[in-house]
Amino acid sequence: MKLKEIFGSREESLREPQAVRAVNEGEKSTETHNAGFELQVTLRFTEESQVGRAALLLSCTTDKQSEEKLKTCLNAEGWKAVATEVGGIASDLPQKITRALVGAALNAGVVDKKPREMHALMHAALEAINGFISLGTLEASIGAKLAIVRNSGWIAVSMVGDTAYHAVAHHERCGLGVMHI
């Protein structure tokens, strides 16, 4: 399946959330919880410079099957992609992210160990990190999915995840960096 078929001209559709009944010690409860929903979105990639959109989509995937399907579609269009995850305390994350991104990008063949490719990767990563981690989150706990997508002229790094000072107050954030190779 080609990327155009997935993000081409299909109409947006939204399946209604299904309620799930909570069961407490074998008895049915009247409480319901949102089981989630699926959202199909149509995106059209018309320029190679839209590599950031692809990286955001990849970092937003929530299961391995969706991640692999998107990477396969990107590869079919001649683009390269990889995703990885990182977590820890915000003040330790820049070093962890750098190691995770460089390792994933080199191991997956998204970049070669050439100065201009490594330079572009690191600049895109710096942009993404600056968008994802603010100065006020130094002791926050963070978990993020990182995605790197590139084509012949551009590379993008995207980070999507959660931050929290306390588990009850966690919330999502994202960062994106795009650089010309």
Assign a CATH topology to domain 46-180: Hut operon positive regulatory protein HutP (3.40.1510)
pLDDT range class, residue 11, cuts 50, 70, 90:
very low
0.75 exceeded by the pTM?
yes
Annotate 142-179 with b (16+ C-beta within 10 A) or e (fewer).
Answer: bebbbbbbbbeebbbbbbbbebeeeeeeeeebbbbbbb
Between helix 93-107 and helix 115-132 the angle, nearest 10°, is 140
Token pair, residue 106, equals 């080199």
User: What does the pLDDT look like over 138-169, one tens digit per residue?
Assistant: 688 889 999 999 999 999 999 999 988 877 88
**Can you give the residue ranges of every domain in the chain?**
4-34, 46-180
State the chain's mean pLDDT as an integer: 82
